[in-house]
Each structure stands twice: as structure tokens, then as C-alpha cells.
Amino acid sequence: MSTPFPFTAVVGQDDLRLALLLNAVSPAVGGVLVRGEKGTAKSTAVRALSALLPEVPVVPGCRFSCDPAQPDPACPDGPHEIGGGVERPARMVELPVGASEDRLVGALDIERALAEGVKAFEPGLLADAHRGILYVDEVNLLHDHLVDLLLDAAAMGASYVEREGVSVRHAARFLLVGTMNPEEGELRPQLLDRFGLTVEVAASREPEQRVEVVRRRLAYDDDPAGFAARWADEEAAVRARIVAARELLPSVRLGDGALRQIAATCAAFEVDGMRADIVMARTATALAAWAGRTDVLAEDVRQAALLALPHRRRRNPFDAPGLDEDKLDETLEDFGDSPGPDDDPDPDPDPDSGPDGPGGGGGEPAPEEGPQGGDTGARPEAGEGGQPQPSGAAERSAVRASEPFRTKVLSVPGLGEGVAGRRSRARTEHGRTTGARRPRGTLTKLHLAATVQAAAPHQRARGRSGPGLVVRRDDLRQATREGREGNLVLFVVDASGSMAARQRMSAVKGAVVSLLLDAYQRRDKVGLVTFRGPGADVALPPTSSVDAAAARLESLPTGGRTPLAAGLLKAHDVLRVERLRDPARRALVVVVTDGRATGGPEPVALASRAARLFAADGVASVVVDCESGPVRLGLAGQLAGELGGTAVTLDELRADSIAGLVKDVQGTSRRAA
């Protein structure tokens, strides 16, 4: 086993280290979600924590790590006698992004269960992580059903595996730590709420601190064992402090004053549900125990709020995380009747042994990051005084998007086999059963009726004359299922002067933001291509971060001619590259334009030829017609025909639109006729 980077050698990242230590003191806090840019020691700190946890007594030979003092009465390897355990280090189990459901919860051998009547169960990662740490790197990239299983097990402290009437249950209590880069997409708010604490991490911009990060990392890479030995005393001190805090935790008193502050804070920040109040109470109690106190103080409640509330305030992916600390202080002051004793003891009586002590810390060196969230679309050249110079028609500053709305469902026709999502029909592991086939590899979802039908004709030849059924391996049938997949939704947005001249850009941006919100809810990847003036640009390469797309769109300037052909060709090139990276994910191209083409030579003919490339490739497309005014040319409808797609107006895009409803009814009537 390789020597982990010492926890106390991590430079900075005070909130991250504190959140991890609080969960080590009190696993009931509910785990930590670590959000931050790449190269910020997220993984290093989590892996280092496992070395600080006290050793765990286990029943010898038990695959589920039962506690010999209190063995699980329902353990599949049980029953166990009380006592006689052995100690081993606490485990840190990593869940890879591509893990299957069977790898996570364990696999029941259905073939042996049916053919031999044997209930053979192979434990999964949840069993391995029991009484240890379960670490999920890039948790936002996990399939939703895996995240649901993971968080349900964390909440209930047990894992259940049920297949065709055969069930297995085992204990699964672990410290759940997830890390994610927000640029690669967000978790749903419902899933965010299931993590007890959240921490935002970023690389230091202080040169001296960055130098220390690099110095420690290079020293560790040269001699891991020697580097770890130099931090052994600090590691032992923190380990001892964790043990002491665990012993003190049951004696910590959470008074009514602190409870009122917790409730008032959650109400002031309009947090949904009651989980936040419970997590704050547990976190404040753990903070007091970590500080060596038996009373919860106002400062504990404040720190608990900063760790437990920011991610619970996000109601859509465009909300910025964080808390208004002035509002927090005002709330605590209004409801603060000194919840602790009058003499405020030092909240950290032994700072040298904690995460902020002399071991202070440094992890993986963080690379320099470029500007984040800025507009990468076409921009005019700056003239004297930094003023933008016009390109073609007059340059217009960016306008704000109008309020988003619920959009009609736009989907890719046919049946795909892409990643799990909520947009288009696809063959998936979860969904309604549509048929059966012979299993390819391990049988996971048994189609019982098809299996019985396959076995029934052979009963006499197998010597069965009475009731019952003899089932052999060749009779087993795998259920085929149909669910929904996530798609690549590529937005091609016209930002030219013809779109902005009638001040429609606010409505257009509002429509695109609405579609982005829909893409977030349906678990799609999104990309953004804009065209105006001299050409087209990829404002955002395909990504799972729809809030990044919204930020780019918000700062998008308008003006200039309409190089429609350039926009379509750029989108076609983006799709070509993306098909090489992710061939199973089908694309939906959404072109937002009034259909005019004025940029470049023979603009109309070039746009027509570019559109026919999409039709030839069979790419699903929708044109959002932004034309307005009393005289309409219908150019967007013509473009949709050449793309081989459909056209909808801004009014028809709304799910509750009267115009859209009438069009749907008329289309249904024509199909019925």
C-alpha cells in the first residue's frame, strides 16, 4: 500500500479539513461534498483522512465488518457471537464513476438461486465501506440511480439488494465524501440536500502559499515514507484529538438557545425541509466536542451554518452558492441569548494539534487557472480608450435574459442507447420492461415469464412429471428495458444585428435559458455556438455545466451581419468531434434565429447547403423562430425544412402556450385523419 500524503501537511483549505474532521468525530453529520476547481487537493485531503481514523474492531472472517461488541443480527455472514474481535485500519473505498449497480450494492447470483436454490451473495463497495470512508470522486458524473442508491444507504445505514423475490440486507454505515468540479455539471438540488456539509475550495492566489504547496509536494514525491515520517507527530496528535472528541461527544449539551438560533437561521435563509436544522445541530455539537467543550456556543452555530446551508439554498443551477454572512450574523444576534456559559472558553484549546496547527497543510500543486465564466464568443477589437469598435452593423451591449419558463419537451426521434437521462427514448438498465433476450454475460435483470416459457417445453425430457419446474442456464432470459437517455443539446444562437434590431434579444436569451434549465433537469450535455458579424464561435464546448452556458449567454453581445452558414458549419464541426468522443450520445441541435442570412458571399445558398449536411447525417434539429412584426418572411421554417427538423415560434416553445396547444391539437387531428 502506498504512503498517503499526511493530512496535517495539506496547506490551507481550512474549511475542507475542518469538515472532514467533524465527520470523523460524528459520522451522523452526514458526509461532505467538496466543490472546487481541479488541482486543489480535494482527493489528497480525503485520502489522507483515512490514515487518521482509529482502528476498527471487526468479527474475524466477516465480509461485512461487523462490530464484535454489537454484531448485526441480520448479517448475511452471521449470526456472530459477541466478543473475540480483531482490529484493522479503517478502510477508504473509492467508487469509480463507471461503476455498475451490482458493483456498488453487491450481486446476487440469480442463476444459482433459480437452478440450485442457493442464495449466493457477493458483497459490493457499500459492504466494503461499512465503518470506514466511501469516497466518490466526480460524484456529479455518476448516474442518477447510483447516486440515489448511495445516498439512501448513507441515510438508512443499510443496503438492500432485491432480485426476483430474493433479498439480502446488510449494514452500511460510512463516512460519505464526494468531490466534484462544478464546471463539469451540477448535482440536482434534491441530491445536494442529502450531503450533510459542503465546502468550496479554490487554489490560493498568494505566491508564498503556492510555493509551499509545490515544495511539500515535490518533497513527498521524492520520498513518500520519509516525508510522512516528518509529519508523524502532528498526525498522531490529530488522531488522538479525534478519539477524545468522539468520547466527549455524548456529553455535549445543545441548549434551547442554540436550537432557536439554528431554527431561525434555517428559516431566515428559506431552506426547504428540516434536514438542514438537524445537520446544523449535529455539526454544532461536533464542533463543540472538537474544541473540547461540553456546551454549544453561538460561534459553533455560525460555523455550522457556513458548512451546512450554502448548497441547500440552490434551487436551480443558475443560483450562486454561498451565504450572506451579514444576514447570518444579524440573525444570530437577534436570536442569541448566549446559548453557552458566560465565560467563553477558548474554542480551540489545543490549536497546534488541529488542522490549523503547525502542520497547516499542502496537497497537490494547483495549476494556474485562466479566467472562469467569461465570454469566449466573438468580441469586437478594442480601440483607443478601451472602447469596442463596431463590426458591420452597430455593436450593441449585452442585454439581460427575460424570465425563464417551462418549455415544451424537445426530443430526438428513434431509440437510442446513450447515457441515462430524461429526454429521449433509449434502451437502458432501468425503465419499463419491453421484452426479453438471452443474457450476454452476467444476468442482471431476469425476465421471469420468458424464462418459464423457455423452460416449459423441456420438462418431460428433463424427467419432470409432477409439479415444479426444472430451470437450466440456457433457459434464463434477460429483461430488456426502455427508459430515457440524456442527449447533447447544441444551441446555435443568432446574435446578429437583425436579431437585436427589434430588441428581441432579451426574449431570445430568456428562451435559451429556459431550454438550458430544461437540459439541466433532463441530465443533458450542452454546447453553445454563436454567430454574428464576421463569423461564428464556440462560446462553450459541450459540457455538463449548464450554468456555465447560461453565464456565457448572459454576457453575449449582439450586432453585425448574420453569417448563418458559418454558424451551422461550426456546429457541424462541433458535432463531428463530439461523436468521436462520445459516440453513444445522440445530439439535438437547437437553432435560435429569425432565418435571415446576410454574412459572406452567397449567404442564402451557403446556409442552405450547410443545413443539408445535418439532414444528410440524420441529426435531430429544431429551429426556434424568432421572427416578429406584422410582415414575416418565414425563413426559419424554410431553414427547418432544409435541416430535416421542425420549427417552433417563441410562443409555441412555452409548455403552457395557447398557440402551442392549438398547434398540437391540429397536428393530432391531422394524424388521426
Catalytic site positions: 275
Phi, psi of 83 (to 5 degrees): 95, 175
DSSP secondary structure string, 396-442?
B---PPPPP-PBPP---SS-B--SEEEEEEEEESSSEEEEEE--SSS
C-alpha cell read off for 194: 442529502
Which cell goes with 138? 466526480
Contacts of residues 451-454 at CB distance under 8 Å and 24 or more positions apart, as own/partner, are 451/114, 451/475, 451/476, 451/477
In sequence order, what DSSP letters do the residues of 303-362 get, joined into one string? HHHHHHSGGGS-SSTTSPP---HHHHHHHHHHT-S-SS-SS---S-S-GGGSTTSTT---
Count CB neighbours of 152 within 10 A. Answer: 14
Measured CA to CA, the distance from residue 175 to residue 54 in angstroms comes to 13
The grid coordinates listed for 95 are: 467508487
Non-local CB neighbours of 306 within 8 Å, separated by 6+ positions: 15, 323, 325, 328
**CA 193 – CA 173 distance, rounded (Å):** 18
Distance CA 33, CA 519 (A): 23
Angle at 415 between CA 411 and CA 420, to 5 degrees: 75
* 79 upstream amide cis, omega within 30 of 0: yes
